[in-house]
């Protein structure tokens, strides 16, 4: 058999000289831990280079572990965006805490995200202690340094060092992306050798319906206050292509009381209209086509305490 008749060897590209070993790839999971609102989801989006996780100025925006994928050259980072660590209050927040612990255990590296603007506090010390106990490989990211001057940044870096959570501490701004490259290079160097875990073109593991529901929830959270953001869950019931370039999305926003429903609907339906308009723009950006969004509000008492329902919502 001549050389030319040899079947293609998997892992060897056409350009590889005959006999060259396939280039080794590296891939692994990087979990982001930290208090609510420190900017974990914003940082995941910055590292991935696309919007995979929703973001708001209200704490406890993230409810499920979301994977964001960054594939660059021979290395794939799978970022695991986690709910903020907090004291559980109900079945929902209990599950969120369980998710955080499990994902940290299963990750190759952990980034402890601190809020540079606020400095280090008891909540951060609690999480640092938990990570030490889990024997996680911890890197610290001090986020929101765009809000600090130089002396302010140095002071908070010192506080972060005193925390003793990880050897390496990176000042970053997830918003301006300052410092993000250095953090990424450091994380890539820590990934184990192995095949890619996702297709290189994938940005996230979330199914379409969940992604769209999250974008709608973001629009609702951003426009409401106090207990309402925490009481809203969104379920996409149907996604249907009406014609080329136009998709209809039917979704329901659940809340826990009539008064919350009243707030989401608003005077003369103004609030639901504003949420719908903002959400539709986001859905259109995500899908790359026009969207007809059919949005309604329903009361579902105590959904946050309903274990069977949380299962069905994929909040494990």
| Count, residues near ligand GTP per rule CB under 6 A | 24
Q: Which residues pair with 69 in a beta bridge?
A: 78
The first and second tokens of residue 32, run together, are: 């982001």
Query: Using CB atoms, what's the residue nearest to ligand GTP?
Result: 84
Order of strands, sheet of 109-115, starting from the edge strand that comes earlier in the sequence: 66-72, 75-81, 26-33, 109-115, 138-143, 169-171
**For residue 119, what are its two tokens?**
């400095």
Q: Is 174 in the site for ligand GTP (CB under 6 A)?
A: yes
Q: Residue 22 to residues 11, 189, 196: CA-CA distances in angstroms?
A: 6, 19, 14
Six-digit token pair at 166? 């990880």
Query: CB-wise, 32 or 275, nearer to ligand GTP?
Result: 32
Site string for Mg ion, 47-76 (x = CB under 5 A): --------------xx--------------
Task: Report whether 279 contacts 296 (CB < 8 A).
Answer: no
Quick one: what does residue 260 bind among Mg ion, ligand GTP, none, with the CB cut-off 5 to 8 Å set by partner type? none
Beta carbon nearer to Mg ion, 49 or 269: 49
95 binds ligand GTP (CB under 6 A): no
d(CA 87, CA 146): 29
**Least gap, CB of 20 to ligand GTP (angstroms):** 43
CB of 198 closer than 8 Å to CB of 78: yes
Q: Find which of Mg ion, ligand GTP, none residue 99 binds, CB within 5 to 8 Å per kind.
A: none
CA distances from 288 to 45, 157, 245 (A): 18, 41, 8
Parallel, antiparallel or unpaired: strands 109-115 and 138-143:
parallel
173 binds, among Mg ion, ligand GTP, none (CB under 5 to 8 A by kind): ligand GTP
Q: Which residue in the set 12, 25, 50, 59 belongs to the binding site for ligand GTP (CB under 6 A)?
A: 59
Q: Which stretch binds Mg ion (CB under 5 A): 39-47, 106-114, 223-231, 250-258?
A: 39-47
Q: Residue 56's binding partner, choosing from Mg ion, ligand GTP, none, with beta-carbon cut-off 5 to 8 A by kind?
A: ligand GTP
How, if at all, do strands 109-115 and 246-255 pair?
unpaired
CB nearer to ligand GTP: give 177 or 284.
177
CA distance 92 to 278: 26
Size of the site for Mg ion (CB under 5 A): 4
One residue of 30, 39, 41, 68 binding Mg ion per CB under 5 A: 41
Pair of tokens at residue 25? 């790839």
Q: 226 with 270: CB under 8 angstroms?
A: no
CB atoms within 10 A of CB 236: 21
Question: Mask of contacts with ligand GTP, 20-39, x by CB under 6 A?
Answer: --------------x-xxxx
Minimum CB distance to ligand GTP smaller for 139 or for 247: 139
Cβ nearer to Mg ion, comparing 62 with 260: 62
41 touches ligand GTP by CB under 6 A: yes
Between residues 79 and 265, which has the closer beta carbon with respect to ligand GTP? Answer: 79
Asked whether position 84 contacts ligand GTP by CB under 6 A, the answer is yes
Helix (H) or strand (E) holding 72: strand 66-72
Task: Look at the block and give the residue holding tokens 């299962």.
Answer: 311
Contact 95, 82 (CB under 8 A): no
Instruction: Tell me how far, at minimum, the Cβ of 54 lies from Mg ion, in Å.
Output: 7
**What are the residues binding ligand GTP (CB under 6 A)?**
34, 36-42, 55-57, 59-62, 83-84, 143-144, 146-147, 173-175
**What are the residues binding Mg ion (CB under 5 A)?**
40-41, 61-62
């Amino acid at each position: 058999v001549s050389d030319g008749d040899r079947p293609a060897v998997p892992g060897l590209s056409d350009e590889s000289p005959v006999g060259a070993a396939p280039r080794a790839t590296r891939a692994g999971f990087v979990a982001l831990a930290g208090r609510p609102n420190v900017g974990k989801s914003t940082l995941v989006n910055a590292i991935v280079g696309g919007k995979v996780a929703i973001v708001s100025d209200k704490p406890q925006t993230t409810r499920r572990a979301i994977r964001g994928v960054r594939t660059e050259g021979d290395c794939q980072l799978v970022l695991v965006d986690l709910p903020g660590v907090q004291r559980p209050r109900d079945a929902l927040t209990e599950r969120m805490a369980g998710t955080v612990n499990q994902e940290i255990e299963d990750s190759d590296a952990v980034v402890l995200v601190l809020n540079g603007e606020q400095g280090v506090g008891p909540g951060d010390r609690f999480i640092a202690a938990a990570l030490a106990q889990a024997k996680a490989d911890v890197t610290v990211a001090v986020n929101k340094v765009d809000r600090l001057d130089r002396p302010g940044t140095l002071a908070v870096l010192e506080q972060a060092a005193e925390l003793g959570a990880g050897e390496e501490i990176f000042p970053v701004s997830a918003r301006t992306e300052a410092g993000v490259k250095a953090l990424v290079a450091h994380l890539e160097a820590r990934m184990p050798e192995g095949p890619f875990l996702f297709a290189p073109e994938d940005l996230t593991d979330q199914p379409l319906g969940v992604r769209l529901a999250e974008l709608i929830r973001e629009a609702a959270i951003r426009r409401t206050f106090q207990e309402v953001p925490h009481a809203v869950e969104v379920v996409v019931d149907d996604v249907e292509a009406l014609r080329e370039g136009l998709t209809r999305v039917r979704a329901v926003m659940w809340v826990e009381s009539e008064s919350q429903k009243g707030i989401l609907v608003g005077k003369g339906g103004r609030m639901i209209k504003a949420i719908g308009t903002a959400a539709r723009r986001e859905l259109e950006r995500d899908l790359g086509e026009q969207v007809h969004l059919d949005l309604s509000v329903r009361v579902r008492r105590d959904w946050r305490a309903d274990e069977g329902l949380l299962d069905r919502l994929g909040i494990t």
